[in-house]
Structure formats: C-alpha cells, structure tokens
Amino acid sequence: MKFVADEGLDLPIVKALRAEGHEVFYIKEEHPGFSDEDVLKIANQKGDILITSDKDFGELVYRLKQIHSGILLIRLSGLRPKEKAVVISAAIREHGADLQKAFAVINKSHVKIRK
C-alpha cells in the first residue's frame, strides 16, 4: 500500500512499514514544517492514505469537509514506537482494503473505520 506519513509519526513506524513493502512518503524527510492542509493536499495528490497522530486532521475532514484519500489516525499513547509499529502493521494487514477513502482510528484494542 501507499502512505503519506505525517511529520509527527515516529521513524521506527515508517521504517517498519517500508520493510513490509509499503511505499511511505515521509513528510519529515521531504517537507518538514508543512502545514496540516499542505500535508493533506500531498496525500490527496498522490492518492495515498495519510498516517498521523494529529487529531487536527479529523477537524479538517469532519468540520471543514476537506476531501481525503484515507486517513489513519494513530491513538497509541503509552506504547514505544516499535510497539506502535507492530500494532499499526497488524491493523494494516487486517484492514488494508477498507482504509482507502476511510477515516480510521487505531487504538490499543481495536480499529474503528468510518467511510
């Protein structure tokens, strides 16, 4: 799958996804300091799913009605980056087909997907 990883996403998560064969465009490597609106624009232009831990993207999508190619919001506080990578990778393997054009939230116990 193809993802745009927001700047705040931990590097071990990006590395784990790449190691599993996913294509990951990491904002921190390519365009550090970009606004949320610009990050969302990049994800949309590429047609990629945005992975972020920033709840502001929920506001952009639901309150401001911004279009998106899919957003994966990570809510895994208390876990180390490598533990987060394991949870995220498992969720992508299990729900990958359902993530496109959806707003999904991953937490420790489940994945909530809204189309």
Put the strands of the sheet holding 49-52 in their side by side order: 23-26, 2-5, 49-52, 71-74, 103-106, 111-114
- The residue that leads in pLDDT, 18 or 109, is 18
- Name the residue with tokens 């087909």: 97
The pLDDT value recorded for residue 27 is 98
What's the pLDDT score for residue 57?
A: 95
- CA–CA distance, 68 with 21 (Å, rounded to integer): 23
Mean pLDDT of 95-115: 94
Total domains in the chain come to 1
Taking only the tens place, the pLDDT of each residue in 32-67 is 999 999 999 999 999 999 999 999 999 999 999 999
Q: Which residues have CB under 8 Å from 46's CB, separation 6+?
A: 2, 4, 25, 69
> Residue 29 belongs to what domain range?
2-114
Domain with 46 in it: what CATH number? 3.40.50
Q: What is the pLDDT of residues 66-93, one digit of tens each?
A: 999 999 999 999 999 999 999 999 999 9
